[in-house]
Amino acid sequence: MPPTIVLLDDNPLVLKLGRALLEKEGCQVIVTSNWGEFGQAMIATPPDMILLDVNMPSISGNRLTEIIKMNPKKASIPVILMSDMPDATLEEVATKSGADAWIRKPLTKDKLTLLLSRYIPSWKPRT
């Protein structure tokens, strides 16, 4: 069974690129562009990993991370924050929110495969 990844970003290009890269690695990807879609995805299919944009219009990715990590049924799901902010700032935001990791945009195959191998033990790279 392929790992399920939920990707939340308000930028359609990030969603398109993220989906393409993750699907090439054998993942099932659920793209969401707002809090409502994200909430529905979390109810419908418990994901193996969550990628959240920090700078969202209605609720920041770091605040959403805090909410996820407070829920005992969801706290074990790896949450990775994404942003184009400077590394030190993004690392601080991720640490304070309880995120498992952070990744700078733009998304790349190397960055995503590193996260998949670290947080989804059953995932195997495609050759």
Percent of the chain with pLDDT over 70: 99
Confidence of residue 125 (pLDDT cuts 50, 70, 90): confident
**Helix, strand, coil in percent for the chain, rounding step 5:** 45, 20, 40
- Domain 4-119 coded CATH 3.40.50.2300: yes
Alpha carbon of 88 to those of 10, 79, 85, 100: distances in Å? 23, 18, 8, 15
Mean pLDDT over 74-99 rounds to 96
pLDDT for 88 equals: 96
Using CA atoms, how far apart are residues 16 and 28, in angstroms rounded to an integer? Answer: 13
Q: Where are the domains of the chain?
A: 4-119
- pLDDT of residue 46 exceeding 90, the answer is no
Query: What's the rounded Cα separation, in Å, for the pair 43 and 45?
Result: 6
Tell me what the pLDDT averaged over the chain comes to. 95
Match 């990707």 to its residue by tokens: 7
What pTM value is reported for the model? 0.95
**What does the pLDDT look like over 18-29, one tens digit per residue?**
999 999 999 999
* pLDDT value at residue 127: 67
